[in-house]
Amino acid sequence: MRDPAERLRDILEAIAAMQRHLDTQRASFEENELLQIWCVHHLQIIGEAARGLPDDVRALAPSIPWPKLIGMRNILVHGYFALDTDIIWNAAVRDAPALKPEIERLEGPGI
């Protein structure tokens, strides 16, 4: 079982992985199925890591929408036949990078 510090690192690594490959325009993203799957995979990792964090750790960052992160993972895993590239794009280029400073702050208290 992964401890909270490992799960926080998983989230940061998933964000970094998406950022490494999202130096593209939206139109290129729409045409690149591999990039879409790359982002879906890392968004799933973020949601799974968030789901595995204990409630007391999540409570240290109430501004993070934990239920939405976990819910996104569930949709991506179970609703694969109806994925919306608008949502995936926005989560990858806007929401995940915005999450990064909050997760980095959580790493600090020695979790």
Burial class (CB in 10 A: 0-12, 13-18, 19+), 55: exposed
Q: Active-site residue numbers?
A: 73, 78
Burial class (CB in 10 A: 0-12, 13-18, 19+), 76: buried
